[in-house]
Amino acid sequence: MPTVARNIVDTLHASGVQRMYGIAGDSLNGLTDAIRSAGTLEWMGVRHEEAAGFAASAESQITGELAVCAGSCGPGNLHLINGLYDAQRSRVPVLAIAAQIPSEEIGSGYFQETHPQEIFRECSVYLEHVSSASQMPRLLRIAMREAIEKRGVAVLVIPGDVLLQDIDADPVAIGATSSRVIPDESALEAAAEALNGSRKTTILAGAGVAGAHAELIAVAERLQAPIVHAMRGKEHVEWDNPYDVGMTGLLGYASGYHALMDCDVLLILGSDLPYQQFYPSEATVIQVDLRGEQLGRRTPIDVGLVGGVRETVEQLLPKLTETRSSKHLNAAQKHFAKTRKELDSLATPSKRTIHPQYLARLLDQAAEDDAVFIPDVGSPVVWASRYLTMNGRRRLLGSFVHGSMANALSQAIGAQSVEPDKQVIAMAGDGGLTMLLGELLTAVQHKLPVKTVVFNNSSLNFVEVEMKAAGFVNYATELENPDFSAVGQALGMHSIRVERSADLPAAVAEFLAHDGPALLDVVTERQELSIPPAITAEQAKGFTLYAIRTVLSGKGDELFDLAKTNFRQLF
């Protein structure tokens, strides 16, 4: 008769799950032993459970299917929480097994006792405690179905002794379902009326346009509308797209910002851009989202359509008139060309230093056509958003909603595990990498050919930019870094360090061509501003205060370097 743990393993295998991320521990012994004896799942041991959550999140983002992680009782599953928040907020299905202390000790203040039912409540769509063996098969089925259908995290809290109990139950396969959601006819008519009366329509497209590229281009052509994308929409929007005019939001740039602000009708397709200040205040707003609760969350809307982007656009297109002016589109395209030229001028070699833009551009040019890019939250996301080119085959993943540091390498492990033959590139910040530095060993131990490039500017760089914009002198952001290439070599991976622009192209080529895990440590310019697409009066005031305070604090050389490096970006 199988144990509860073996039934879990067999059910996961029958449902298409191939691996489980985590760190072994005594309360998980029943589960890890079941994985060993079954031989059907791979145990992906990491060095920190947070990385297990991030890796599962990335695997699910790659496949769209259920991924699984596990943590032992108390501190073990507590460490999962940041990665699970990322999965929950990225809306990907993940099952987390949170082992618990022995059943008879619950409530006694036992060694390592916590209450996971309370801890994981906010980062899950389903959370339940399994108190007996007879409960488990049904609760497992429910948890998996909830994660898959609600696109989020399901947590099962299971005491270690329950995992070891025998059970008379057969494994059951739990698979994904498919559906089409189409808006009400009256809502479609209202949207068509507003769009047909528009002279200047702009489309804001997000992650919800995945799988609807042809429909997106068709509606933009019919409306003669520029398409602005949010960060999570980049990989789905900008390829083979003459209507794309760039990105908006905190990491965006001028052309995307102005295309939104200049429209009289804004059509939002599958986007949940969180920054209210980047929406037009006077335009008529039409929003399409599969989740009705998202409508009007970020900005007031005039027409809300609950439906998938592809299905909704298919229903909307026949209702749209074909003859309309392209003046608004032409202006936005012209602005985009100018903005793109200015951005590209910054991605050039320098005699004195290495611009991070240049590094990002070289990675883009040298990477394979189906590469997976994963930038750390902070300045690497900025350079990824501006200098990576999507083509319909490349992927761009990250902690774009939860916004956690240290995501790049950990998510790269998950992406590489499920796509072992693809080029997976972690664009790591020095702060993010050192936060979970041990995961370099995970890549080495599992022989995962993850390529980790370090944007090494000896600082929490994006935090410094935020300080400058708010008028503060940089403080508590300095990082004393090692030679990361020496660290990588000590860990058993191919490693290169670059300090001059002239050496960078060859180093990038060698780094990406290596057959196995590799690390590229690039010393980049610290005084590089990654500012929003439009500088507010408050930010201008902040930069002025920063300049005054910097001079008064005796750091005038820093201000001079900043001015030299960023004059074109500021003005």
Residue 358, marked binder: no
Q: Is 403 part of any known ligand binding site?
A: yes
Q: 3-class DSSP state for residue 295?
A: coil
Residues contacting residue 565 through CB under 8 Å, at least 6 positions apart:
525, 527, 528, 529
**461 has binding-site annotation:** yes
Q: Say if residue 249 carries a ligand binding annotation.
A: yes
248 is in an annotated binding site: yes
Cα–Cα distance for residue pair 382/528, rounded to 1 Å: 11
Residue that the structure tokens 């201000």 belong to: 559
Terminus-to-terminus CA distance in the chain, angstroms?
72
CA angle 38, 44, 46 (to 5 degrees): 145
Residue 431 known to bind ligand = yes
163 annotated ligand-binding residue? no
120 is in an annotated binding site: no
Out of 100, 112, 224, 357, pick the active-site residue.
Answer: 112
The residues that bridge with 426 in the sheet, in sequence order, are 374, 452
Q: Residue 307 annotated as binding? A: no
Catalytic residue among 9, 162, 377, 508: 377
Q: Measure the CA–CA gap between 291 and 302, rounded to whole angstroms.
A: 17
Residues whose CB falls within 8 Å of the CB of residue 70, separated by 6 or more in sequence, listed in order:
20, 21, 22, 28, 31, 52, 77, 96, 97, 98, 99
Q: Distance between CA atoms of 306 and 319, rounded to whole angstroms?
A: 17
Q: Is 118 a catalytic residue?
A: no
User: Which is the catalytic residue, given 49, 50, 215, 314?
Assistant: 49
Contact between residue 238 and residue 248 where contact means Cβ atoms under 8 Å apart: no
Q: Is 459 a known ligand-binding residue? A: yes
Asked whether residue 275 is marked as a ligand-binding residue, the answer is yes
- Say which of 278, 462, 511, 543 is annotated catalytic: 462
Collapsing DSSP to helix, strand or coil, 369 comes out as coil
474 is in an annotated binding site: no
Catalytic residue among 104, 111, 276, 277: 111
327-346 and 254-261 helices, crossing angle to 10°? 160
Q: Is 457 annotated as a binding residue?
A: yes
411 as an active site residue: the answer is: no
- In sequence order, the β-bridge partners of residue 247 are 229
Q: Is residue 125 within 8 Å of 153, Cβ to Cβ?
A: yes
Helices (H), 73-112: 75-78, 81-90
Residues in the chain: 571
To the question of whether residue 78 is assigned a binding role by annotation, the answer is no
Is 33 annotated among the ligand-binding residues?
Answer: no
Instruction: Let me know if 462 is a catalytic residue.
Output: yes
Q: Within a 10 A sphere around the Cβ of 222, how many other Cβ atoms?
A: 18
Q: Is 260 annotated as a binding residue?
A: no
558 catalytically annotated: no
289 is in an annotated binding site: yes
Check if 401 is active-site.
no
251 annotated to a ligand binding site: yes
Instruction: Give me the active site residues, please.
Output: 49, 111-112, 377, 462
Residue ranges at the known binding site = 49, 248-251, 271-275, 289, 403-405, 430-432, 457-463
Residue ranges at the known binding site for thiamine diphosphate = 49, 403-405, 430-432, 457-463
Residue ranges at the known binding site for FAD = 248-251, 271-275, 289
Residue ranges at the known binding site for Mg(2+) = 430, 457
